[in-house]
Amino acid sequence: ATAASIYHAESMYNKQPYHTSSLTGEAWVQELINGHPDRIRSELGVSLQVFEKLTETLRDAIIQGSKYISLNKKLAIFLY
C-alpha cells in the first residue's frame, strides 16, 4: 500500500509532457492525417474517415482554404 501511494504521488509531481511534436501548423495537421489512426482521434476527437468526410462536405459547400491556411488546418483548429 505504501509503495502504491509513493508511486501515485510521484506520478502527480513528475509529469511527462503530452504534446511533444515539434511540428506546428500545416505540418502538424499532415502528421495527424498520415500518422497512427488513434492519434488524430485523440487530438481532434474524430476518426480520420470523419475528418476527411467533414473536409469533403465543407469543400462541397464552397468553403475553402485561404492563401495562408488550408481547409484541413482550419478544420483541425476548429475541432481541437
pLDDT in tens, the chain (80 residues): 677 777 767 766 766 666 677 788 899 999 999 999 899 999 999 999 999 999 999 999 988 888 889 999 999 999 99
Give the pLDDT of residue 20: 72
Task: Give 18-23 contacts, CB < 8 A, sequence gap 24+.
Answer: none
| Residue 8 in domain | no
Report yes or no on 44 lying in a domain: yes
Q: Is residue 56 part of a domain?
A: yes
Structural domain harbouring 57: 21-79
Please state the pTM of the whole predicted model. Answer: 0.71
Q: How many domains does the chain have?
A: 1
- For residue 5, being part of any structural domain is answered with no
End-to-end CA distance of the chain: 39
Q: In this structure, is residue 11 part of a structural domain?
A: no
Residue 20 in contact with residue 12, Cβ under 8 Å?
no
Give the pLDDT of residue 18.
Answer: 65
Opening angle at CA 51, ends 20 and 18, nearest 5? 15
Within 10 Å of residue 70's Cβ, how many Cβ atoms?
A: 16
